[in-house]
Amino acid sequence: MKQSGYKSAFHIYGLFLILMMLILAAGAGMVIYAVTVQKPNGEIVRSDWPAEFTGAFSKEIIFQEGEPVITQKGFEMLEDNGLWLQILDSAGHAVKGVSVPEGQPEEYSPDRLLSTLDSSGDKAVFSGVSEDNGRSWTYLIGFPMDIAKITMNVNAGHFPSGKSYVLLGAGAVLFLTAGLGLAYGFAVTRRLSKMTRAVDEIAGRRYMKTHERGAFQDVYASLNTLDQTLREAEEVRRKDERLREEWIANITHDLKTPLSPIRGYAELLASSEDTPDAEELQKYSAVILKNTACAETLINDLKLTYQLENGMVPLKLQALDIIRFVRELVIDCLNDPQYAGHAIEFEAEGSQILNFDPGLMKRALNNLLINTLLHSGSGARTGVEIISGIPCQIRIWDEGKGMSEKQLNRLFDRYYRGAPAATDSGGTGLGMAIAREIISLHGGKISADSCPGCGTVFRITLPQS
């Protein structure tokens, strides 16, 4: 980890140094751009070229009989560079000119001369002096360039040469950049190492929440959220595992319950020397059939649960009247001898056509109805209410003993059985989960409200299609 930290530090430092070098290169490019100009012929020269050109041009001015004359080379130099020239006498009168633009004055007072030399814009004017027998002639050369003339006064003793100071400043900037980059690289590496340890601690379930401030605040907030999410997922996994173990124990008991009498009567028939009479055969067969049906129901529930969990149940939708459909289910329940003596109040008006799978919907609503009849208690009122509309609402209620908050929270969990297997409720722990999955498969929702002593209400909403 330590070697990796140093490696990361130098990597970050290298990137930081490259960035600063690019910045310095960009700055140097801007300086070069600022101290260069383009001549009319496209050639790039230093910005002091006009001053040097003007100073050297005095050699191209000769005097004949006391009057200034421009050499042929001088003419060519002016023409090649697109420049104009004026030669002034000591009184400021223009005595000779070459390619002078319109509007340029012919006489210059001292103030006007200074104003012309200080002017800026798309042209710059430089001046020079040519001597002849003690007489001075001033000449002006105009350059079609935008050049700013800057004068800076410095201490001659402290600033003998600007280059040394420039180099010293550049060296100081590079040294400071290197130092800051290295310090920043190590600081970031420490933070990265801390985050790496945090990830390892999350994986090992040893992570403690960290409230960090600064640039990595969002990263630590995300790590805290990740740890919380993983802990919740682990708790859900443990809960499911515990429920699965409880369910396996219950389902093992439930499978043995129907198989034991089947095996017992089969052994009795196999070992009996005398052939049982018809009455005994009918009695034995009824017991075997009953327990076979119980085992078959359990197996079918397991199969349907697996199919629903994996999206393997196709919907065979039909447009049917939901009110008539539920009414027939209630009548079938009441006609079952197992629920003799129970009454279900049914409340609904008119009709409502919905698209649903009748086989799956029958399974879901039957599970809810049977659960209500089995657990509401004898003599308790039960009922079904259908409210037409979009969506359609179905209420299955009872005024029985109700459920505790713990039972209500786990009611729709797979493998959960509100009543122990010893009560012989006939439940597999999958009925409510199956009902929820089927309702959800139709795009509907199901919920339950209950408290001890006040009964239970199942609320189902089903869309039009």
Name the band, by pLDDT with cuts 50, 70 and 90, for residue 191: confident
pLDDT for position 312: 80
Q: Please give the distance of CA 61 from its chain centroid, rounded to a whole number.
A: 76
Q: What is the pLDDT of residue 31?
A: 73
Instruction: Using the CB atoms, write b or e for 323-357: b if 16+ within 10 Å.
Output: bebbeebbeebbeeeeeeebebeeebeeebebbbb
**pLDDT score, position 160:** 54
**Token representation of residue 439:** 């309702």
Q: Residue 158 pLDDT > 60, yes or no?
A: no
Mean pLDDT, rounded, for 339-343: 81
Residue intervals of the chain classified under CATH 3.30.450 are: 48-143
315-462: which CATH architecture? Answer: 2-Layer Sandwich (3.30)
Partner residues linked to 126 by β-bridges: 141
Q: Phi-psi category of 99—alpha, beta or left, where left has phi over 0 and alpha has psi -120 to 50?
A: left
The secondary structure of 192-256, three-state, reads HHHHHHHHHHHHCCCCCCCCCCCCCHHHHHHHHHHHHHHHHHHHHHHHHHHHHHHHHHHHHHHHH
CB contact at 8 A, 78 and 97? no
DSSP 80-110: HHT-EEEEE-TTSBEEEEESPPTT--SB--H
Region 38-67 average pLDDT:
83
Average pLDDT of the chain is 80
pLDDT surpassing 90 at residue 278: no
What's the rounded Cα separation, in Å, for the pair 311 and 23? Answer: 59
CB 448 within 8 A of CB 402: no
| Arithmetic mean of pLDDT, 442-462 | 92
Token pair 């129901």: residue: 297
Distance of CA 63 to the CA centre of its chain: 83
pLDDT of residue 6: 53
Tell how strand 382-387 and strand 344-347 pair up.
parallel
pLDDT at position 423 is 42
pLDDT in tens, 216-271: 777 778 888 888 888 888 888 888 788 777 767 767 766 777 777 788 878 777 77
The residue that leads in pLDDT, 360 or 244, is: 360
**CATH 3.30.450 for the 48-143 domain, yes or no:** yes
430: burial class by Cβ within 10 Å (0-12, 13-18, 19+)?
buried
pLDDT of residue 340: 76
Q: Which of 111-120, 129-138, 418-427 has the lowest mean pLDDT?
A: 418-427
Listed as own residue / partner, the contacts of 180-184 with beta carbons closer than 8 Å and 24 or more positions apart are 180/16, 181/12, 181/13, 181/16, 181/17, 181/20, 182/9, 182/13, 184/12, 184/13, 184/16
Q: Give the pLDDT mean for 404-411.
A: 86
Q: Which residue has the higher pLDDT, 81 or 5?
A: 81
Question: Which of the residue ranges 151-155, 210-214, 257-261, 324-328 has the most confident prediction, judged by mean pLDDT?
Answer: 324-328
Q: Is residue 375 pLDDT above 80, yes or no?
A: yes
Neighbours of 121 (CB within 10 A): 6
pLDDT at 319: 93
CA atoms within 13 A on the CB side of 13: 20
Residue 328 main-chain phi, psi, to 5 deg: -65, -35
Q: Is 392 exposed, middle or buried (0-12, 13-18, 19+ CB in 10 A)?
A: buried
Spatial separation of the C-alpha atoms in residues 66 and 228, rounded to whole Å: 100
Which residue type, as a one-letter code, is found at position 396? I
- At residue 332, the 3 state secondary structure works out as helix
Locate CATH 1.10.287.130 in the chain.
Answer: 217-307
Structure tokens at 217: 């605040």
| Residue extent(s) of CATH 3.30.565.10 domains in the chain | 315-462
Contact 321, 351 (CB under 8 A): yes
CA distance 417 to 402: 15
Helix extents (H) in 310-447: 322-335, 358-375, 405-409, 431-441
Q: CATH class for domain 217-307?
A: mainly alpha
Query: Mean pLDDT highest for which of 39-53, 217-231, 352-366, 427-441?
Result: 352-366
At 283, the pLDDT band (50, 70, 90 cuts) reads: confident
Out of 146-150, 326-330, 341-345, pick the least confident: 146-150
